Chains A and B, each alone.
Chain A
Amino acid sequence: AQSVAQPEDQVNVAEGNPLTVKCTYSVSGNPYLFWYVQYPNRGLQFLLKYITGDNLVKGSYGFEAEFNKSQTSFHLKKPSALVSDSALYFCAVREMGGATNKLIFGTGTLLAVQP
């Protein structure tokens, strides 16, 4: 069964510093991977996806993610954090097989950016 793991419940970073939110995956075959962000009392917003191609994927709001097949990881990164980046971040993988696009989500990582 496909799954993703987010090993950190919370990540703290100072404004202006680079940030990394970690995600590892377990799938059979080639994974389709996603990052979403959830602000308080809001729905999930799509940030970026990896389907195939370049291992470095660029997304919204200056975020990027690096797909690493050998380490089965898909870490979310940003060169310079903003206080407004503080939110809950979810990594997700598309379930493979069948005709569904359903997503399997990690447990989420709370990013706190201190001014």
Chain B
Amino acid sequence: DSGVTQTPKHLITATGQRVTLRCSPRSGDLSVYWYQQSLDQGLQFLIQYYNGEERAKGNILERFSAQQFPDLHSELNLSSLELGDSALYFCASSASGLSSYEQYFGPGTRLTVT
């Protein structure tokens, strides 16, 4: 168990809908990362937050947004969903120290868009 929690585990929704994925980082970790894993794209970095502020953006669609709250949990919002958004969405966290480069991943949320 990495200490990173994600809810829900599974999500099935229809095209055009909006969903929110939730992540709680390991205790004390200030950085939260979101990744998307799909068969055709592999593991892709979406976005990073550090202590409530956006730190880096990757291949994140404009229909997707995220935020990190004062209690450090994060939410990833996906809107106007398309079939191609079906994927595993992972959240990861890391500590803020200079030697803490590794990230610890949650179990993921499997999103199925029908």
Enumerate chain A interface residues (CB-CB to B < 8 A).
32, 34, 36, 42-46, 49, 51, 90, 94, 98-105, 107-108
Helix, strand, loop or mixed for chain B's interface? strand
23 pairs across A/B with beta carbons < 8 Å?
A34-B101, A43-B105, A43-B106, A43-B107, A44-B90, A44-B92, A44-B105, A45-B105, A46-B103, A46-B104, A49-B102, A51-B101, A99-B55, A100-B48, A100-B55, A101-B31, A102-B33, A102-B45, A102-B56, A102-B58, A103-B33, A104-B45, A108-B43
Interface residues on B, range: 20 to 34
B2 at interface, CB cutoff 8 A = yes
Enumerate chain B interface residues (CB-CB to A < 8 A).
2, 4, 31, 33, 42-43, 45, 48, 50, 55-56, 58, 90, 92, 94, 99, 101-108
Find out whether the CB atom of B42 lies under 8 angstroms from the CB atom of A32: no
> Given A34-B102, A43-B2, A49-B101, are A98 and B56 neighbors across the interface (CB < 8 Å)?
yes
A49 to B103, CA, bound (A): 11
